[in-house]
Protein backbone atom coordinates (compact mmCIF):
# COMPACT_ATOMS: atom_id res chain seq x y z
CA UNK A 1 0.00 0.00 0.00
CA UNK A 2 2.86 2.39 0.82
CA UNK A 3 4.48 1.76 -2.56
CA UNK A 4 1.29 2.81 -4.30
CA UNK A 5 1.20 6.05 -2.32
CA UNK A 6 4.80 6.85 -3.24
CA UNK A 7 4.18 6.07 -6.90
CA UNK A 8 1.12 8.33 -6.97
CA UNK A 9 3.03 11.10 -5.22
CA UNK A 10 5.88 10.83 -7.72
CA UNK A 11 3.40 10.90 -10.60
CA UNK A 12 1.73 14.03 -9.24
CA UNK A 13 5.09 15.75 -8.85
CA UNK A 14 6.04 14.88 -12.43
CA UNK A 15 2.67 16.07 -13.71
CA UNK A 16 2.71 19.45 -11.96
CA UNK A 17 6.39 20.22 -12.49
CA UNK A 18 5.94 21.79 -15.97
CA UNK A 19 3.24 24.09 -14.59
CA UNK A 20 5.61 25.34 -11.91
CA UNK A 21 8.31 26.05 -14.48
CA UNK A 22 5.90 27.86 -16.79
CA UNK A 23 5.82 30.82 -14.40
CA UNK A 24 9.52 31.59 -14.57
CA UNK A 25 8.88 35.35 -14.41
CA UNK A 26 9.22 36.28 -10.78
CA UNK A 27 9.55 40.02 -10.74
CA UNK A 28 9.98 40.30 -6.98
CA UNK A 29 12.96 37.93 -6.93
CA UNK A 30 14.58 39.69 -9.88
CA UNK A 31 14.05 43.08 -8.27
CA UNK A 32 15.48 41.91 -4.95
CA UNK A 33 18.43 40.34 -6.73
CA UNK A 34 19.25 43.54 -8.62
CA UNK A 35 18.90 45.66 -5.48
CA UNK A 36 21.02 43.26 -3.45
CA UNK A 37 18.23 42.72 -0.93
CA UNK A 38 18.06 39.01 -1.63
CA UNK A 39 21.30 38.62 0.29
CA UNK A 40 19.71 40.26 3.32
CA UNK A 41 16.84 37.78 3.14
CA UNK A 42 19.26 34.86 2.84
CA UNK A 43 21.33 36.17 5.75
CA UNK A 44 18.26 36.52 7.99
CA UNK A 45 17.12 33.01 7.13
CA UNK A 46 20.59 31.64 7.88
CA UNK A 47 20.68 33.43 11.24
CA UNK A 48 17.27 32.00 12.16
CA UNK A 49 18.28 28.51 11.04
CA UNK A 50 21.59 28.61 12.93
CA UNK A 51 19.78 29.93 16.02
CA UNK A 52 17.35 27.03 15.90
CA UNK A 53 20.18 24.52 15.56
CA UNK A 54 22.06 26.02 18.52
CA UNK A 55 18.88 26.02 20.59
CA UNK A 56 18.18 22.36 19.79
CA UNK A 57 21.75 21.34 20.61
CA UNK A 58 21.57 23.11 23.97
CA UNK A 59 18.18 21.58 24.70
CA UNK A 60 19.53 18.12 23.86
CA UNK A 61 22.45 18.61 26.24
CA UNK A 62 20.14 19.70 29.06
CA UNK A 63 17.84 16.72 28.50
CA UNK A 64 20.83 14.36 28.44
CA UNK A 65 22.04 15.74 31.79
CA UNK A 66 18.58 15.28 33.29
CA UNK A 67 18.39 11.71 31.97
CA UNK A 68 21.74 10.86 33.57
CA UNK A 69 20.52 12.11 36.96
Report which secondary-structure segment, H or E, holds 46: helix 37-68
With beta carbons less than 8 A apart as the criterion, state whether 18 and 12 touch: no
pTM assigned to the model = 0.53
Q: What is the pLDDT of residues 1-29, one digit of tens each?
A: 667 777 777 776 767 665 555 555 667 77
Of 21, 40, 43, 24, nearest in space to 32 by CA: 40
Q: What is the pLDDT of residues 23-45, one digit of tens each?
A: 556 677 777 777 878 888 889 99
* Vertex 41 angle, CA 37 and 45, to 5°: 165
Amino acid sequence: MNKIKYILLAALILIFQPFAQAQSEVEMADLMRTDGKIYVVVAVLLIIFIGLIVYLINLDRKVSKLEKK
